[in-house]
């Protein structure tokens, strides 16, 4: 573990979500922070999370919504690092409630950027998704916009010390509302619905997601999009790993859903470097000179990092091992 956050005051938006809870636990255990502030809008989830840390003086809870610019500004007093994990993310729901996604994922991100520049917060890392690449759904479009806002935030900050970077990764094992808790809930019926038998997805654990965010916070200079090298999996393999006794029923693609996901396009690869553990996509603006870029070799021309052309694949056995902690007790779908 790196110690990029040692002695720092850290605020995480959406801190009561799946990622937020694992991030907070990891940072308190490994990073020796001065303070960790959980910023979220759900008082019940904050109450429940607080019960897990009855004697933790470094942990704070701040009730608020990133849609409320004044509340965001107030929460950032004395903060050194912000991890931006707050978002509305359920694809079918957001297809039918698009303005709600815009208010949280775009306007909320703008509120955070402006407040952090005014408060002179040194570092911000935003969480993004493969659905932001060539988006076909509202969620992906809002996350693409949020990425662009974060990268452009470095120009808006100008000579100020505030710097913004992005971490972009795929589906998280066992996160609320994901396929694992859904399959867990219905597998007793003997049938698992599959949208398309050819469907593939990038797959990452919560711990891997936390680590790439910590790496980004340590090495970022501002403007980068960090893309971890992670394995792909077939949705049919996941279903068989979870419930080999179940029949698979093809139900067709849902609104706004892709057969395969992409983490980096060929156009982005022109500005990317391969650091071994991850790719780093650099902004195209002239302010980012070559000498500012981290070590690593340029990505080959025309390279596309997609879930169906990945060089690393999870087998049924590996999937079964990864999901064992999530299949003992079904988690409610958010």
Q: How far apart are CA 285 and CA 278, in angstroms?
A: 22
Q: How far apart are CA 203 and CA 173, in angstroms?
A: 7
Selected catalytic residue, list 8, 89, 123, 131: 131
DSSP string, 238-295: HHHHH-TTSEEEE--PPTT--SS-EEE-HHHHTTEEE-SSEEEEPP-STTS-GGGSPS
> Tokens 């867990």, residue?
184
- Quick check: is 148 catalytic? no
| Cα distance between the two ends of the chain | 31
Beta bridge partners of 16: none
HEC string for 74-99: HHCCCCCEEEECCCCCCHHHHHHCHH
Task: Report yes or no: 149 and 113 within 8 Å, Cβ to Cβ.
Answer: yes
Q: How far is CA 175 from the centre of its chain?
A: 11
> Tokens 């019960």, residue?
51
13: left (phi over 0), alpha (psi -120 to 50) or beta: beta
Pairing verdict, β 232-234 and 200-204: antiparallel
The three-state secondary structure class of 62 is strand
Instruction: Classify each residue of 143-156 as buried b or exposed e, where b means 16 or more C-beta atoms within 10 Å of its C-beta.
Output: bbbbbebbbebbee
Q: What is the DSSP letter of 100?
A: H
Q: How far apart are CA 172 and CA 174, in angstroms?
A: 6
Closest Cα partner for 73 from 103, 39, 104, 105?
39
Query: Which residues carry out catalysis?
Result: 131
């Amino acid at each position: 573990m790196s110690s990029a956050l040692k002695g720092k005051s850290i605020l995480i938006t959406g801190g009561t979500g799946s990622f937020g809870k694992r991030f907070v636990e990891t940072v308190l255990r490994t990073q020796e922070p001065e303070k960790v502030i959980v910023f979220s809008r759900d008082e019940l989830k904050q109450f429940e999370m607080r019960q897990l840390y009855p004697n933790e003086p470094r942990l704070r809870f701040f009730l608020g919504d990133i849609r409320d610019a004044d509340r965001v500004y107030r929460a950032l007093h004395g903060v050194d690092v912000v991890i931006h994990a707050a978002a509305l993310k359920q694809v079918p729901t957001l297809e039918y409630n698009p303005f709600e996604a815009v208010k949280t994922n775009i306007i909320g991100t703008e509120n955070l950027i402006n407040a952090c520049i005014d408060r002179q917060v040194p570092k911000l890392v935003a969480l993004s998704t493969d659905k932001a690449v060539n988006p076909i759904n509202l969620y992906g479009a809002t996350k693409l916009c949020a990425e662009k806002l974060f990268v452009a935030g470095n120009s808006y900050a100008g000579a100020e010390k505030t710097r913004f970077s992005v971490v972009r990764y795929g589906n998280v094992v066992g996160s609320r509302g994901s396929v694992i808790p859904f399959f867990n809930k219905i597998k007793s019926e003997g049938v698992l619905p599959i949208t398309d038998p050819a469907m593939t997805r990038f797959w990452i654990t919560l711990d891997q997601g936390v680590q790439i965010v910590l790496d980004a916070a340590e090495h970022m200079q501002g403007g980068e999009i960090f893309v971890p090298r992670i394995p792909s999996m077939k949705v049919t393999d996941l279903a068989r790993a979870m419930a080999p006794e179940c029949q698979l029923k093809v139900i067709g693609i849902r609104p706004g859903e892709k057969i395969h996901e992409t983490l980096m396009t060929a156009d982005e690869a022109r500005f990317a470097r391969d650091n071994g553990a991850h790719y780093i996509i650099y902004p195209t603006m002239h302010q980012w000179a070559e000498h500012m870029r981290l070590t690593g070799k340029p990505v080959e021309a025309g390279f596309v990092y997609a879930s169906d052309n990945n060089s690393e694949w999870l087998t049924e056995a590996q999937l079964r091992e990864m999901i064992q902690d999530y299949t003992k007790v079904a988690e409610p779908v958010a």
